[in-house]
Chain A
Amino acid sequence: MTDTAEEVSRIGSRWQPGPDGLLLDVRDLQVEFRTREGVAKAINGVDFDLYEGQTLAILGESGSGKSVTAQAIMGILDSPPGFVTGGTVEYCGTDLLKLPESRRRTVRGPEISMIFQDALSALNPVFPVGWQIAEMFRKHRGMNRSDAMREAVRLMERVQIPGAQQRAKAYPHQFSGGMRQRIMIAMAIALDPAILIADEPTTALDVTVQAQIMQLLADLQDERKMGLILITHDLGVVADVADRIAVMYAGRIVEQADVFDLYANPGHPYTKGLLESIPRVDLKGQELSAIGGLPPNLLAIPPGCPFHPRCRYAQDVCKDGAPPPLREVGRNRYAACHFAEDVLREGAHQ
């Protein structure tokens, strides 16, 4: 409960990424929520990795497990009811899941940090924003109040908040949505983390502001060579900034590919459905209308491929047994579908 643990890590050695720049290696991650209604399998074996300077977009509709994945990596799942039940999350070669909480805390902020969808509720309403940013320096770097505040103002200037010096004393509710998200970003990059996880960073914002925030994130990543995990349900948002995309459905990654490959020719019927729905509906939140049916209830995920009740390629083989594994279906691209090749071929002809 004291700050000594943070003290120790500050002196300790800095984490070093692998020789190829590998930062994060997630293998077979499993998370469940134990609720009164039963056990909900929120994540069922997620694999991905992230390199320095890379942007990985995790795409999925709400309930697909994308935010839970992020929280499990950060170690901030609400527990109970959420529990990590399996897998590894290796950061610079160390499995974070095996670290004691006191060590793990020193990773959050200086090494991996996170910004959230709704900055208004994610910032503490009763403290000035400058104070909240400065807290990072005070608690992780042991700076005194005035030095920490100077750093906070500098960061606010970096994320282009006009009048940062005065505005640092203002409270979150006194800012516009876009400015608040900039403050969240300033707080997250304060300690120059190697990885930034952005959970739906622009969903709550106006379209024009969305573009500015995405640009800011891209600039910051360029400048600091961060690994960026961008969680979103909005295909439009990721197209410009992401290098790689992982599409999640019912707690699994169903397709993973480089962004151009995936856009050009999806390898999973779900991804295909998502892409097909874009041009028709321009409004956010409705792009799933082209896929019939509803996402599965996580308390009772259908046997076989969880997507089969909504899939137009579905055949008997999809309806029971184990879900199809994520397998290599092309150069550096993976899909979890029995008929991935058919889907790809069909796309190539169009």
Chain B
Amino acid sequence: MTEAATEQSIAPVGDVPSASAGRSEWSAAWVELRRKPLFWVSAVLIVIFVAMAVAPQLFTHTDPRYANLADAFKKPSTHGPLFGMDRQGRSVYARTIYGARASLSVGLLATVATTILGMIMGLLAGFFGGWVDAILQRIGEIFFTIPLLLGGILFLYKFPTSVDAPLIVQVLKIVFVLALLGWPNIARLMRGAVLQVKPSDYVQAAKALGAKPGRIIFSHILPNALAPVIVVATINLGVYIAAEATLSFLGIGLQDPAISWGSDISDASGLGEITAAPHMLLFPSLFLSLTVLAFILLGDAVRDAFDPKLR
């Protein structure tokens, strides 16, 4: 492919200035993204789930915590409870709708926290190099070595969530541990990007002209390094949502009365429940899987948009 026709359109000019390279990369990615049906499917799904998380009342008037033992294990039907009732006679539909809030807030907050922490660490390591780099890399390896789930379990074991803690405290605790264990991934990526950009002429020129490190980072390095970070962050979102559900499934994540797909699935996955009331397992699992799927599809679409070669 040395002489593939596509290369023809690229004029043999020298280095394009960084800022415009960054910007055109972004707008090209956006044009690419707009054409992808999968991007729109995932975007619509995400908008629906976010609406569910922000205003569950829009979707249901039933109190997800209202229990009527007389209705326990009731099957789904079109003229009764749409998704059926759980063991305690609570509406599975209402609980599934309300469960979106916990999952999405953990996913989004953990992604933001991981990305910011990882970017700062990666920037410091890549930009300053030397012993700063060596130390940060070793620290990253230490956290990277502890499997996400094991670390989460250890931490939540040590700082268990009390039953009456408000949702946001419970969520932040999980976010904290996910970010603590998740940042090395982003940091490594960021460090690589910085090292790639650092020796380029325009960064050297900016340095020679006496630009401060902060300015070099924000106007020269960040715009070039952001794309791969965003791609990985979008993919991580799904991972974190699944991690929260897993911790809640194990009974150490979000605690009742907080509503979480993970703990509802845990309630539903006893062998007795599975056979008697499969709907208890089906609906929260379906919503959870759809959410994770939506973010994975979004991540894939974003990655392809930034790197069209891959497909």
Interface residues of A, Cβ cutoff 8 Å to B? 33, 35, 37, 40, 42, 62-68, 78, 81-82, 117, 199, 294-299
Contact = CB atoms under 8 A, between A and B. Distances in A.
Interface string B1-45: 111111111011000000000000000000000000000000000
User: Chain B interface mostly helix, strand, loop or mixed?
Assistant: loop
B5 A35 contact: yes
B2 A67 contact: yes
A12 to B, nearest CB: 33
B13 to A, nearest CB: 10
A65 B3 contact: yes
A63 B3 contact: yes
Contacts of A82: 4
B4 A33 contact: yes
A81 B5 CA distance: 10
A69 B5 CA distance: 13
8 A-B pairs with least C-beta separation: A40-B5, A298-B5, A33-B5, A67-B3, A63-B8, A67-B2, A297-B8, A298-B8
B6 A37 contact: yes
Contacts of A295: 8
A294 B7 contact: no
A310 to B, nearest CB: 14
A35 B2 contact: no
Given A62-B3, A68-B3, 17 more contacts: A33-B5, A33-B6, A35-B4, A35-B6, A37-B6, A40-B6, A40-B8, A42-B5, A63-B3, A63-B5, A63-B7, A67-B3, A81-B4, A199-B2, A294-B12, A298-B8, A299-B5
A42 B11 contact: no
Interface residues of B, number: 11
B3 A299 contact: no
Interface of B: 1-9, 11-12
A344 to B, nearest CB: 30
A82 B6 CA distance: 12
B103 to A, nearest CB: 37
5 contacts: A35-B4, A68-B3, A199-B2, A294-B11, A294-B12
Contacts of A81: 4
Contacts of B12: 294
A110 B55 CA distance: 72
Contact of B2 (A117, A294, A296): A117
A67 B1 CA distance: 9
Nearest to A60: B3
A63 B202 CA distance: 29
B129 to A, nearest CB: 25
B275 to A, nearest CB: 49
Nearest to B3: A67
A298 B10 CA distance: 12
A40 B8 CA distance: 10
A297 B9 contact: yes
A62 B12 CA distance: 11
A78 B1 contact: yes
A62 B7 contact: yes
Q: Give the residue among B4, B6, B9 with the most A Cβ atoms within 10 A.
A: B4
B3 A66 contact: yes
A68 B6 CA distance: 13
A262 B261 CA distance: 79
Contacts of B8: 40, 63, 295-299
Contacts of B7: 62-63
A89 to B, nearest CB: 18
